[in-house]
Structure formats: structure tokens, C-alpha cells
Amino acid sequence: DGGITQSPKYLFRKEGQNVTLSCEQNLNHDAMYWYRQDPGQGLRLIYYSQIVNDFQKGDIAEGYSVSREKKESFPLTVTSAQKNPTAFYLCASSIVFGTNYGYTFGSGTRLTVV
Amino acid sequence: AQKVTQAQTEISVVEKEDVTLDCVYETRDTTYYLFWYKQPPSGELVFLIRRNSFDEQNEISGRYSWNFQKSTSSFNFTITASQVVDSAVYFCALSEAVNDYKLSFGAGTTVTVRA
């Protein structure tokens, strides 16, 4: 079955460490996105990628970095510069860039800084 | 400024009751899309509906129905005869033509259906 796989489901990080969250899709979608979810808040856009080798900052990109070397993969690195990294991270994709065709979401990674 | 407001933080009902989730949005665009997503305990967001700004017809899909009213900038969602499996967080979201790649989400409403 086609879908988006995020791993790991739970991740613990010590303060000052970088950590990378994986997102893989086998839907042949061009566009991919990373959102952050905090308790009692909606999702906020971190980064997005329209096509391979291209990505742009979203609303809250500070302290994060991404790469898009393959169509299927869009990993997110949470760097030590991110002041409050504990959150639930959701990856999404769309067949083409834009919301007209809807997003498909992964099941998320819950990151906790200890 | 908050583009999507879901005023209800939590709603608890007994099975078979109807439940209505409110969503009020704000935009200056004349072309926009509204969405509802369901987030079960497993975490992924499940797409429920997309409605464009030019289509104000109400829609029914099984036990789900949506009421879109441009005059009040609202896009409310009703679950009829609720079931325990409907327990989840429900998000309303807006996509504007000027930034049509991005969804602006409301804070979500947690629905708990008790047996």
C-alpha cells in the first residue's frame, strides 16, 4: 500500500544534540512538507519542497534544516539552535505542489528533549 | 492573526448523540479552500473533506455533514449518531489562493464519545 512512513515514532534527544527525523513516501508525489504540532495548537509549517533538490522555509523554519535529494525522501533535522524542540512532527506529501489535491500525512514522530 | 478559529477545545458526548464542531475562518482572498481533518490516537491526519469558496452547497457523507456559510465565514462539521470510533481530534484548515501550498490550521477540537 502506498503511503508515508515516518520513523521513529518516538525520539528522545539530549539538549544540544542534533537529531534527524525520517520521512519516506512511495506515492510518487512531487511535493513534501513538514509540520509541527504543539498541544492545544494547530499545525504549523516548517519547511516544504516542491520538487527534488528544492526546498523553502515555512513559517517556523528557525532551528530546522531539510534536504530533498530523492523524490521519496524528505528528512528533517532538528538542530541544537531550535529552542523548544519538544513537539509532534508530521510529514505530508501532495501529488503536485499546492493544497488543491489534498495532503497525505504520515503518522508522525514525537520528539522529546530530555 | 488567527486565520482559523475552533472555539471548542473539547467536546464529550454519549454514543448516538449528534455533535457539531464549529469552525470560523478569516481571509481576504475570494478564492480559498476549507478542509476538515481527523486525527485519531494513532497520530496521522486523515482527510475528511475539501470545499472551495465558490461552492456553498452543504455536503453529507454517511454520518458526516458540513455546513458552509460564507456570510458568517463558518464551515461547521456535524457527526450524526456518534460512535466511539469517532473519538479523535478534528482540525479545520484554510488554504488561500495567495499561498495555496500552505494549510492554516485551527487549534483542533478533541471529541470524546463515551459508550
CB contacts of A45 in chain B (<8 Å) are: 102-103
Q: What confidence score (pLDDT) does residue B19 get? A: 97
Q: What confidence score (pLDDT) does residue A42 get? A: 86
Classify A70 as helix, strand or coil: strand
* Segments in chain A below pLDDT 70: 1, 100-101
DSSP category for residue B103: P
Separation of alpha carbons B115 and B98, rounded Å: 44
Distance from CA of A77 to the nearest CA of B (A): 20
The stretch B66-78 carries a mean pLDDT of: 95
Q: What confidence score (pLDDT) does residue B98 get? A: 73
The stretch B56-80 carries a mean pLDDT of: 92
pLDDT surpassing 60 at residue B2: yes
Where is pLDDT greater, at A87 or B102? A87
CB count, 10 Å around CB of B30? 10
Separation of alpha carbons A102 and B49, rounded Å: 9
Q: What confidence score (pLDDT) does residue B59 get? A: 85
Q: What confidence score (pLDDT) does residue B1 get? A: 57
A23: enclosing H helix or E strand: strand A19-25
- Rounded to 5 degrees, φ, ψ at B105 are -95, 150
Separation of alpha carbons B39 and A63, rounded Å: 26
Q: What confidence score (pLDDT) does residue A95 get? A: 85
Q: What confidence score (pLDDT) does residue B16 get? A: 97
For chain A, the straight-line distance linking the first and the last C-alpha, in angstroms and rounded, comes to 35
Query: Residue A97 to residues A24, B33, B42, B112: CA-CA distances in angstroms?
Result: 17, 15, 26, 34
Separation of alpha carbons A64 and B8, rounded Å: 32
Q: What tens digit of pLDDT does each residue of B23-59 get?
A: 999 999 999 999 999 999 988 899 999 998 998 888 8
**Does any CB of chain B come closer than 8 Å to the CB of residue A45?**
yes
Residue where the block lists cell 525522501: A73
Searching chain B, which residue's CA lies closest to the CA of residue A56?
A: B101
Q: What confidence score (pLDDT) does residue A69 get? A: 97
pLDDT surpassing 60 at residue B3: yes
